[in-house]
Every structure is written in structure tokens, then in C-alpha cells.
Structure 1
């Protein structure tokens, strides 16, 4: 692997105008959306203080935002606890979005076929800010598979799905992601760049990306990122399972060619 990841994986600087300097950028709207994004899978209720800490905003600002979102139906407020949870208006947006993703219906039988062969979980995901969002899952009949469901989010740097995305994203987009992750102090800059470099190199040499204990020490997974057209978002299909049920050798030698074939079947079925 290259000893200079920033040159291989991040060889282009982003020239995007910072949001705060763009006269078309609506800061209040962006902040409201960031508040909604805090309610991730597994997080059902949050207080204004918790939201303020996650969004890095003053509590007074968050209070005004949550009050507005409650009035519009995007959040609901529990008087007893003083906390907030997702409202029906937000849920309807998500349901509407998923219903329009025809690829879910097209991909499902091919994904299920791969899940049955591998005795693992096969998932379809897209990027959501600095995470990967599961939009479809297929499980085998194996007694033990991963417990992630549609709507779950996983890290973009350490997971095979995230690396599948990074591998085919533009260099400018990879740089932007690396910079934003660095600001969060979730990983060291070296770990971030190494994760991106690993994704790019594996995609070039194997056609897939891997995560063997990198995201969770007891999980093995491989993934393929693809884009049906330039006007559509990058999507990723991943196949993973607990490491004590599926070895990395099995994933690389037996599952990898079938995963690549699954993506080609989906491309063909979608008319690409």
C-alpha cells in the first residue's frame, strides 16, 4: 500500500464555496435539517441540550428550531420528559423516498440469492452526510446474521460499505469527507486517510472493498460501489456476517465473484 495516501486518494482539492460564504445558502434551513439528522437509528428521543451538543449550536438556537419543527410536525415533544422524537411529517418523507427507489425492488431478488449462497446479510446503501444509510436488507436463513435494519447508519471510513462509496467518489469529494471527519475528532487524520487509501487500492486491484474487523472486530464484510448513471447517486452493495460464521477467505474467494455478478445483474435489470 502507498505510504502517501493523501496523494493517491486525495489528489484534488475541493473548490466548493464554503456554505457560510454562499449567498444562496439558507443557514436556518441547514440547521433545522441538522437537528433532524441527529435522530439516527437507535436514537429515539433527545433533549434540546443533547441536540445542541450534537449540532454544536447554542441551546437557545436549538430551542427555536425544535419549536418550529414541532409546529410543522417534523418533531413531537414529550411534556413529561421534555425531550423530542421524530414526527409523522419526517417519517412520511422517508417512506416517500424509499417508495420511489425502484432499485430496491429490482435488486432485492438478486440480493436475496447472494444472501442465501453466502449465509450472510446483503445490504444496499447510500451516503448520508458522513455515514452510510441502509435502504434495503436481505438475510439468509442462517441462525446468526447481522442485526442491522433499513434506516441504520454505519461509519463511512471503517465499514466495507463506506469504503465502497469512497472508492468511486471523486477525489474532491473524498477530500471534503476527510476534512469534515477530521473536524469531528472521531478518528485521527492518519486513520481517515489510510481508510480512504485502502478503499481506492482495493477497488483498483480486487474490484471490491473490504472490512475485516475494521468497523467491528467480529464482523467481516466486502462491498461494491456502483453508479447507474452520472445523474444518480453512488450506491453500494455489501455482504457481511459475524467473523466466526464467515471467513475473509470465503468472502474473497467465493463471494466476491458473485457479488460483482450481482451488481452487473442489477445494472442490466435497471436498463444500464
Structure 2
């Protein structure tokens, strides 16, 4: 399958690396990007980014840590965290003098999944392929320089690494992240590449070279690969999933232990199967979720 895709990867080499906040970039930088736009509400952006500062391993964070991660002044963080707690998006623990994410965040996530019918349509197909291949099959969305699993279907056997919804993978070095990038129109891909360049700093040339190869693979085959890159024990293949006619792009992958999934198997077997899975999910979404059984290779 031949696909046309342009691969503009040149970005501003003078951009400074981003500090290591949990969400991938300081909130101040995100707010500055919108200052020239009169429709951009900086206070709202700061509040949303404050919630993104919570990483997958964070139970509670205080205002001082939130200020450090976001780059915002502590008095600003204090007002934002208080407001978000009043609205149910954060929960305050007086004995710790810290905050954790609240139920409001979970409700928004569930509404996103339910509103698109994506989970109901995708999960049966994903689980079927997972059982048939003895591999993990997962659906993910982007968050700065990472991908976040929205859904993950596991095989019956033991796995080297068992990833679940909420797990994070690096965008530039994982198959699922590369597939998401490949699914973007060039104009939307370019700002993401600039963010990745700032994140990787001096490591970017090497990362960019492997990413270019992955995008060329997508142009030729319709899927991207990663073998023992973001983690030495893991290998996988992935394809983009376009929603709303391409207005929104997610990605879906299939993977497992690198020792039993050499590049030859990824390219000849799992890559075409995950591409067919992505096509089937897109077709069902565009056709209104027809329940007619589709056969996947």
C-alpha cells in the first residue's frame, strides 16, 4: 500500500530545551504562545496546564512543587489550585497541605471516550486481535512529547511489560507516537516537531533521523515500527486512527516482547494487521458504528 506523505522535519535549531515538567513543558511557555491571540484566555490555559503537571506517579502535589513544574509564580498557583478544588478538578488534603486530581478530571475523560463511541467500537476489535496474536493492542492520544493510553487490551499469556490505560510512552521513539505524527497533516505536525526538538535538545538529531525513517515506512506501508527503542524489551507496530474526517488523530499499536517480535515479523505480519485494525475502526466510526462483524487479517 503506497501512501503519499511529506516529511518536513527541519525546525529551529536555536530553540532551548524545555525544563522537565511532568507535562512536558512549563505552563508559562504555553501561555506565552497565546499572548498574541486576543481570543486566547491565559488564565484558563494556566488552570488547565496546572492539572497536566500531575504525572502518572504523583498522588499529591503541593503548591510549591506545582509552581516549580509549571513555571508559574506560587501566588498564582495557589489561586488556581484553590479554584480547581472548588470546582472538583482537584482535591485538597489538609493534613498534607497538598492536592491530588479530583473526580472532575475523570468525568471529562469518560465523556470524551463515550461521546465519540470510540471505546465501544474499538475495544472488541482490539481484544480480538490481542487474543489472536498474543500481543498487547492499545489506543493512545498525544500529550506534549508523550502518548497516553486510552484503552489497552491484553493477551491471555504473560507479558514483558503490561501497560494499562493512563500509561505514557515517548512520542518520538515509540511506534504509536510515530504513527500519530505520521497521521497529522504537515502543517499540524510541524509545531509538534518543534516541541520535540526543545524536549530532546542535543539528542534531537539522532531522534529525528530515526523518526524520519519511521515516517518513510508509513509512506510505503501505512504503519510505523519501533524495535527495542523506547524500551529494550519492547517492540511494536502502529497506525494512525483519524476521527471526524481527520479533524482529530489518535493512534493504535500492537506489540510485545522484542525477543519474540523481530523487525521481520513486525513488518510482514503485525504491521499490516494493525493497519487493517485502524481502517476498520475508522470505517465503523464514519458509518455510525455498524455492528456488522468485520474480519481482520
Interval of TM-score (by shorter of Structure 1 and Structure 2): 0.7 to 0.9
Q: CA RMSD in A?
A: 2.4
Residue-by-residue CA offset, 1:63-95 (whole Å, 9 max, x unaligned): 221111112221111222222101122222222
Matched, 1:23 2:44: no
* Deviation (angstroms), 1:236: 1.0
- Contact map agreement 1:163 1:195 (CA 8 A) in 2: no
Aligned to 2:265: 250
Q: Compared with structure 1, are the counterparts of its residues 37 and 143 closer, same or farther at alpha carbon in structure 2 (3 Å cutoff)?
A: same
Unaligned runs of 5+ in 2: 1-5, 13-31, 288-297
1:156 to 165, 171, 194: 171
Displacement, 1:187? 6.4
Q: What is the correspondence of 1:168-207 to structure 2 with a 5 Å cutoff?
A: 168-185=183-200, 188-207=203-222
1:227 match: secondary structure: strand
Whether 1:60 aligns to 2:75 is yes
Q: Is 1:137 aligned with 2:152? A: yes
TM-score (norm 2): 0.80
Secondary structure in structure 2 of the residue aligned to 1:270? helix
1:9 corresponds in structure 2 to 8
Aligned with 1:241 (options 245, 256, 259)? 256
SS class of match (2:39): coil
Cα shift at 1:165: 0.7
Deviates most, 133-142 or 55-64: 55-64
In structure 2, the partner of 1:46 is 61
- 1:260 corresponds in structure 2 to 275
Q: Quick check: 214-223 or 243-252, which moved more?
A: 243-252
Q: Which runs of no fewer than 5 residues in structure 1 stay unpaired?
A: 1-6
For the residues of structure 2 that align with 1:112 and 1:203, how far apart are their CA atoms? 24
- The 2-side partners of 1:187 and 1:147 are apart by 31
Give, in whole Å, the separation in 1 of the partners of 2:244 and 2:114.
20
TM-score normalised over the length of structure 1:
0.87
> How big is the shift at 1:264?
2.6
Aligned residues: 263
Distance 1:118 1:9, change over 3 A: farther
- Write the deviation string for residues 235-264 of structure 1: whole angstroms up to 9, x where unpaired: 211001122343332222222222222223
Indicate the SS of the match to 1:9: coil
Cα gap change, 1:245 to 1:44, in 2 (>3 Å): farther
Q: Counterpart in 2 of 1:213? A: 228
Change (3 A) 1:56 1:242: farther
